[in-house]
C-alpha cells in the first residue's frame, strides 16, 4: 500500500493527543519531560513526511496542500525545540518550588493538547472544525498561562480567556455567515463547510454576506493574532506565564489565527463582487506596527517588551498579506517563518536570564555579555535579527515587504519604514542596557541547554545569506495561491 500524506497527518494529530493522555497519568518530572520531547520530535518527523509524500485528494475534514504544510512543519519544529528548552526551564521552576509535581504533570499534558489543537487547525478542511481546533489551542494556553497560580498569573489568564472568548465568538459568527452564504449554492449539510468546495463555488456566493462575514472573522481571529487594538491579552499572557508558553504564543499560536485569516481572505478574493479584504488588513497591520513600535519605549518588563515586539511583527505580516501579490505574499510568508524562529529563540534566552537574575525588570539586568556570554550574545544576535539588521533573515523579509510596497504605494512604504525605524530604536536602546555595561544581579552559572536558541539563530542567519531553490519555489507557489 502506498503511503500518502494522510498517513503523516495521522501522526501529526494522533501522536500529540495520545501522548497527552499518557503524560496526564505518569508521575515524575524527568520521565514526563523526556516523553514530551520524544513526542514532539515524533510529531515533527511526521510533519517532515508531508514534504515527501504525494498530496492526497482532500477529504471532508482533512486537507493537505502547500499552504498548510508550511505552517505544520514550522509549528512542529518550534514545538520540538521549545520542548527541549522547556525541559531545562521547568526543571529549575520545580527546584525553586514555583511549580509542584502535580502542576508539571498537568503542564506536559496541556503542552501536547495545545500542539494537537494547532496542528488540527492547520489540516482541517472544514471551517467549523478549524474553529473548534483554534478554540482547543486557545483554552490550553489559557490554562498554562495561569499555572503559577499567583494573583498576576490568574489575572492574565482570565484576561486572556475573556478577550479570547469574545474573539472566538466573533469568529464563530463569521463562520456561520460563510455557511449561510454557501447554503443556497452548495446546499445544507457538511459540504457547505468544506473549504475546498467553498473556494470552488465562492464566485456564486452572496457578496454582501461574505463581506459581513469577513469583518467578524477578521475581528475574531485578529484578536488571536494580537493586532492592535485587539491585543490587550497578549502582553499579560507573555509576562505572567511560563517562558516556554511565551515562546509558543509568539512563535506558533499567533500563526494559527493568521492561517485562518488567510484561508478566508482567499475565499473573499474568489468572489469578484465581494470587497477586497486587503484594505482592512493593511490598515490594521500598519496600525499595529506603529502602535507597538512606540509602546516598546515604555516597557520595563523584558517579557512584555518582546510581547509588544510580537504585535509589531504580526502587524508587518498582516500588512504584507493585505498588500497581496506574488512578492508581498512571499515576503509575508518568509517574515512569518523568520519571526517564529527568532522570537522563540529570544524567549529561550530571556527565560534562562530571568531565572538567573530572579527578575523580569529590565533595570535589574545588566552586563549579560560579561556575566553570561552565551546567553548575552545569543540575546544580542536575536535582538539584532528581530530589529531587522542585515545579514539576518528578517532583514531580507522586511526589505522585500518595503520594496514591494514602495513599487505600488510609496506613501504606505514611508509610513512602514518610519514604524520599523522607531521599533529599531527602542530595541537597540533596551539591548544596550541589558547586554553591556557592569553586570548587575546574580552571576550564578546558567543550568540551561543553549541548543534550541542557537539552532534557531543559525537558521535565521543562513536564511539571510541563502534560501535553497526548492524552498523559494515552494514559497512562490504558496504566494500565488494567496492571490
Q: Where along the chain do its domains lie?
A: 276-483
On the 0-12 / 13-18 / 19+ scale of CB atoms within 10 A, 470 is exposed
Furthest-apart CA pair in the chain: how many Å? Answer: 70
CA 248 to chain centre: 7
- Residue in 44, 30, 13 with CA at minimum distance from that of residue 108: 30
Task: Give residue 435's pLDDT.
Answer: 81
Residues of the chain with pLDDT under 50: 1
Query: Three-state SS for 241?
Result: coil
Please tell me the number of Cα atoms within 13 Å of 322 on its side-chain side.
Answer: 21
Whether 334 and 321 have beta carbons less than 8 Å apart is answered as no
DSSP string, 167-207: HHHHHHHHHHHHHHHHHHHH-SSGGGGBHHHHHHHGGGS-H
Neighbours of 124 (CB within 10 A): 24
Helix ranges, 26-150 (H): 29-52, 66-96, 101-123, 127-145
Task: Give residue 100's pLDDT.
Answer: 75
Task: Give residue 231's pLDDT.
Answer: 84
Task: Give residue 445's pLDDT.
Answer: 65
Task: Give residue 94's pLDDT.
Answer: 78
- Residue in 301, 313, 291, 173 with CA at minimum distance from that of residue 232: 291
pTM (2 d.p.): 0.94
Task: Give residue 7's pLDDT.
Answer: 75
Task: Give residue 146's pLDDT.
Answer: 86
Beta bridge partners of 366: 440
Amino acid at each position: 500500500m502506498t503511503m500518502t500524506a494522510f498517513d503523516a497527518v495521522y501522526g501529526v494529530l494522533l501522536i500529540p493527543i495520545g501522548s497527552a493522555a499518557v503524560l496526564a497519568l505518569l508521575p515524575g518530572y524527568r520521565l514526563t519531560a523526556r516523553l514530551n520531547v520524544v513526542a514532539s520530535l515524533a510529531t515533527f518527523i511526521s510533519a517532515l513526511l508531508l514534504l515527501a509524500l504525494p498530496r492526497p485528494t482532500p477529504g471532508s475534514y482533512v486537507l493537505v496542500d502547500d499552504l498548510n504544510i508550511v505552517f505544520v512543519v514550522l509549528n512542529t519544529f518550534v514545538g520540538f525545540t521549545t520542548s527541549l528548552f522547556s525541559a531545562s526551564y521547568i526543571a529549575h521552576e520545580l527546584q525553586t518550588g514555583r511549580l509542584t509535581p502535580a502542576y508539571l504533570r498537568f503542564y506536559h499534558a496541556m503542552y501536547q493538547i495545545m500542539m494537537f489543537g494547532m496542528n488540527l487547525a492547520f489540516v482541517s478542511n472544514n471551517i467549523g472544525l478549524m474553529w473548534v481546533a483554534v478554540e482547543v489551542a486557545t483554552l490550553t494556553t489559557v490554562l498554562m498561562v495561569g499555572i503559577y497560580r499567583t494573583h498576576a498569573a490568574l489575572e492574565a489568564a482570565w484576561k486572556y480567556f475573556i478577550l479570547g472568548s469574545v474573539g472566538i465568538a466573533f469568529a464563530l459568527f463569521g463562520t456561520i455567515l460563510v455557511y449561510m452564504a454557501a447554503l443556497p449554492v452548495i446546499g445544507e449539510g457538511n459540504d457547505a463547510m468544506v473549504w475546498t468546495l467553498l473556494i470552488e463555488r465562492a464566485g456564486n456566493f452572496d457578496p454582501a454576506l461574505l463581506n459581513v462575514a469577513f469583518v467578524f472573522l477578521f475581528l475574531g481571529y485578529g484578536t488571536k493574532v494580537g493586532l492592535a487594538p485587539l491585543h490587550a491579552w497578549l502582553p499579560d499572557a507573555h509576562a505572567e506565564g511560563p517562558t516556554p508558553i511565551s515562546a509558543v504564543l509568539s512563535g506558533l499560536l499567533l500563526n494559527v489565527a493568521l492561517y485562518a485569516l488567510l484561508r478566508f481572505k482567499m475565499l473573499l478574493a474568489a468572489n469578484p463582487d465581494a470587497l477586497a479584504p486587503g484594505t482592512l488588513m493593511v490598515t490594521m497591520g500598519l496600525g499595529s506596527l506603529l502602535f507597538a513600535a512606540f509602546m516598546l519605549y515604555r516597557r520595563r518588563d523584558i517579557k512584555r517588551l518582546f510581547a509588544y515586539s510580537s504585535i509589531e511583527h504580526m502587524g508587518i505580516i498582516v500588512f504584507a498579506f493585505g498588500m497581496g501579490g506574488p512578492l508581498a505574499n512571499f515576503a509575508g510568508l518568509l517574515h512569518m517563518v523568520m519571526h517564529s524562529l527568532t522570537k522563540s529563540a529570544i524567549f529561550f534566552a530571556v527565560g534562562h536570564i530571568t531565572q538567573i537574575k530572579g527578575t523580569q525588570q529590565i533595570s535589574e539586568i545588566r552586563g549579560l555579555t560579561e556575566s553570561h556570554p552565551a546567553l548575552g550574545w545569543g540575546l544580542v544576535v536575536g535582538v539584532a535579527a528581530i530589529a531587522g539588521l542585515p545579514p539576518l533573515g528578517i532583514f531580507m523579509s522586511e526589505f522585500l515587504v518595503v520594496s514591494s510596497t514602495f513599487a505600488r504605494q510609496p506613501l504606505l512604504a514611508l509610513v512602514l519604514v518610519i514604524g520599523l525605524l522607531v521599533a529599531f530604536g527602542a530595541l537597540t536602546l533596551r539591548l544596550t542596557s541589558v547586554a553591556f555595561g557592569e553586570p548587575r544581579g546574580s552571576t550564578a552559572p546558567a543550568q540551561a541547554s543553549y541548543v534550541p536558541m542557537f539552532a534557531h539563530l543559525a537558521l535565521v542567519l543562513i536564511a539571510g545569506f541563502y534560501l535553497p531553490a526548492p524552498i523559494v519555489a515552494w514559497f512562490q507557489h504558496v504566494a500565488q495561491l494567496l492571490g
